[in-house]
Structure 1
């Protein structure tokens, strides 16, 4: 998910256009005045034959082709629920966040909209989202169907402000032939950091003045946290939704020192290295290992040369498994008029819709376990069951760390990371600078409470 910055004038223009587009079909599906209440009204008999069908509007950031598949699936939902009509309002990805935030502020947002986890938490903190806590409590069978822990990130102050839809995992894509030619065993789930750094060293080289790194990545403090936790140390951030502090533990420093040595010795790229073309080089067989999200697998399956032997493996461990993953999902504005009908649509989106759509567009696993199986079967049919096994292994990790700050104060914290992190990894600053960095971030956290 990419978020571009636009000028305030552009944001106002977009807002006006969005409001005019949705004035007749937004959250007020029956032309009634909006209510700001987030409480759940009495259950409605949405299948009543003599009642006017309820229209549930929704917006995604997906492509036109993907939206066609989604709405085709929702037609089946309408057949099963004749009292509810689902209307998809197409909108381009560009400036998506600005548009949704403008609609929420103007109380003209659709009943359901696609959202990132951080965007949902930000809007939830502003009181702009409907809370589904009561519906979820009354629907324990459905709520128990998600991967363990993934719904936790969608609770804010014990209030459920949305549902996760798809999950992004992060691991290492590697060239099997390069490993084989170097006499190295292929990495697999549970491989250690010792094996990882050894492979990095053996797969690096300098030929004709051209530097070949064994590993291409830009690990940040959140990725380094995986090393720390796996080694028994404290995580960088002590919470996913609302961290109260960051910490640079001895185990964290131990991991930083290992990466520093690898960068200094030319085993991996420095953090200032341009990685924009790394996957093109990977397809050409020039990159032994690279840290990427699982969505890269879909592109490799479709466009990589037939003779490219590649695999995907979780990140290594010191002692225990620790992983990061990221969720995108669905939220609703606090002004929705028919929450029972909207909840039915949300449940269908997270389950049946993904079961039908993911085999056609296998870019990410569903957060709902039963629906994720359709994604794994698609990978198996494409000849890469190992990718699905790796992703499932990551999603079943006993320890999950945040992939980034998800809070509203994150914009104030990141400049301190940017000022110190890269210089420390390149040995241009003392390791003690990380403690100063953490101190400054903790002051941001304290002042934001």
Structure 2
């Protein structure tokens, strides 16, 4: 259901590039054509029974037809509760989503609501393309207070609320319970430490018959190393999720890098050049002891993993205090929305009641609206994996969160410096001081973007 669910483990840069295709939201026009987006000119105050006129709210998603059918089935309840508002879905294939949305924006025929990633939301907000929902949010404080703490912060731009988060992507470690038992290791639990992680990956690795078996399979980037630094009480890699003013390589950040370097050199975990594309297929076969993945993997494992595969999930480890990574996908609207009150009602329903109906059928991600996420957790519990829900809820309630990537428009200029330095440092092909050179170049990009 989330935009990264099928792409993430081809690498974090792939996710960034993929999310850039999902161009965010734009203007709403009026149209009577089934093939065009827009708000009906029949207008009037949204949901106003005195007007006697129907208001049509159009929306678009990047979901599959099957998922869209479930979303629209849930929206029938909304239409029953709001007889003056109809909701119309405009089908669009995922592989053409960004192109079509950009075309709609250019022609000023974009729908009233459509899906967006957090970074694309901010990019389009910077261009003045998104509707400002601040007034509605201020009048609807009870609803706005229902989101997980902090998740709405990055859906603001220049002090304006330009969208609402819908689903949250969390990241943790899936592990093979039998592999831990066979190695004489205690299963990881919430609050386990980085020392536990590095000890486990060492004992779970092997090289039998000349075949290298890593104990831990994961992509690594500065954002994940930031968790180690912050958990140690030091500075994060970047000082803000929303508007970073600098990146920093702390002593504890270097300490974490050195630990991972040693693990890579000793064959305890995969090098950064290792192809992780098929890691989950191998995990299902019982060949992967631990792997860093997004929570959406749980849904696939519940549905398709062999029945005898014993697996679990645990949040990222800690040094001293908890620090986690999560990001969101959600909804936004164009500046030219003609019936904002009606659209706001639909947005609220999408974030709450719709997810309560859909997530039990497809438990791929927790809802950003906390009360609605209970349906997701209950579905995991029913499937026999309450531990996944407990771990994800722990992540979402973390006192500290770090970004999974740069969200700012200058990210495309900064990321090549990470690509040029990061892998070489982890593989011992460049000195650790190269990290400071990398940081200096990124900070120059940030400075020039101000």
Q: Distance in 1 between matches of 2:370 and 2:389?
A: 13
Question: Where does residue 38 of structure 1 map in the other structure?
Answer: none
Question: Where does residue 119 of structure 2 map in the other structure?
Answer: 118
Q: 1:123 to 1:46 in 2, by over 3 A?
A: same
Question: Where does residue 27 of structure 1 map in the other structure?
Answer: 38
Q: Which runs of 5+ in 1 are unaligned?
A: 12-17, 33-42
Question: Where does residue 360 of structure 1 map in the other structure?
Answer: 361
- The SS at the match of 2:94 is coil
| Superposed CA offset, 1:202-222 (max 9, x none) | 001110100010000111100
Question: Where does residue 349 of structure 1 map in the other structure?
Answer: 350
Q: Distance in 2 between matches of 1:150 and 1:129?
A: 19
Contact 1:27-1:335 at 8 Å conserved across structures: no
Contact 2:45-2:51 at 8 Å conserved across structures: no
Deviation at 1:106, TM superposition (A): 2.5
RMSD of the TM alignment (CA)? 2.2
Matched, 1:174 2:166: no
- The SS at the match of 1:164 is strand
Q: 1:22 to 1:274 in 2, by over 3 A?
A: farther
Deviation at 1:227, TM superposition (A): 0.2
Question: Where does residue 220 of structure 1 map in the other structure?
Answer: 221
Q: Distance in 1 between matches of 2:306 and 2:209?
A: 26
Q: 1:45 to 1:204 in 2, by over 3 A?
A: closer
Contact 1:222-1:403 at 8 Å conserved across structures: yes
Q: Pairwise mapping of residues 34-433 of structure 1 onto structure 2 (< 5 A)? A: 44=45, 46-433=47-434
Question: Where does residue 25 of structure 2 map in the other structure?
Answer: none
Q: 1:281 to 1:320 in 2, by over 3 A?
A: same
- The SS at the match of 1:216 is coil
| Superposed CA offset, 1:75-99 (max 9, x none) | 1101000110100111110131232
Q: Which runs of 5+ in 2 are unaligned?
A: 8-14, 23-28
Q: Distance in 1 between matches of 2:305 and 2:117?
A: 29
Count residues in correspondence. 431
Q: Distance in 2 between matches of 1:428 and 1:22?
A: 59
Q: Distance in 2 between matches of 1:365 and 1:214?
A: 28
- The SS at the match of 1:95 is helix
Q: 1:5 to 1:171 in 2, by over 3 A?
A: closer
- The SS at the match of 2:136 is helix
Deviation at 1:190, TM superposition (A): 0.4
Contact 1:27-1:337 at 8 Å conserved across structures: no
- The SS at the match of 2:301 is helix
Deviation at 1:105, TM superposition (A): 3.0
